[in-house]
Amino acid sequence: MTVHLHEEDIPANLFVPGVDIAVDTETMGLITPRDRLCLVQLSDGGPDEHLVRFAPDSDYAAPNLRALLADPARVKLFHFARFDLAAISHYLEVTAAPVYCTKIASRLVRTYTDRHGLKELVRELLGQDISKAQQSSDWGGPVLSEAQKDYAASDVRY
């Protein structure tokens, strides 16, 4: 698996048309208008994950990323979509659709538990342990560490 870091946008035609895309975001905090969008992670289920980093002074133009997120022929897969969709809508000014949320699916299907976080789902369903140690790290810093890149990629890998 290779993690690709892109600045401000993805290359045109990065993903094969019609393929569903896993999407996640990293922000400076939990309040969308205040805490800027720093990173969007993408995966089509192949061997590579793609991270799109936005600078503090970004205009969030990202025409290729916006087109991908708005593409009605692709399902966008999220875990806790409500948060990511708010950040995407606010900063990228695009409505990502159609959407599938694994957290909602877990709540509907896994009624025997109140544990619906991605870490728990991946552990139970795929037998993999993923680290959440970087979840609250500084996503707006000038350089992303390898640990941050690995963490961000794992959120769309699974």
**Exposure string over 6-40, b if 16+ CB within 10 A, otherwise e:** beebbeeebbeeeebbbbbbbbeeeebeeebbbbb
> Can you give the pLDDT at residue 135?
85
Mean pLDDT by runs of 10 across the 158 residues of the chain is 96 94 96 96 97 97 98 97 97 98 95 91 89 86 94 94
- Which tokens in the block code for residue 43? 């995966």
**How many domains in the chain?**
1
Domain with 106 in it = 2-157
pLDDT for the residue numbered 117: 87
Q: Residue 153 has what pLDDT? A: 95
**What pLDDT does 122 receive?**
85
Say what the pTM is: 0.93
- The whole-number pLDDT of residue 132 equals 80
32 SS3 class: coil
Rounded Cα distance, 44 and 59, in Å: 26
Return the pLDDT at 147.
94
For position 90, what pLDDT does the model report? 98
Q: Assign residue 99 the CATH number of its domain.
A: 3.30.420.10
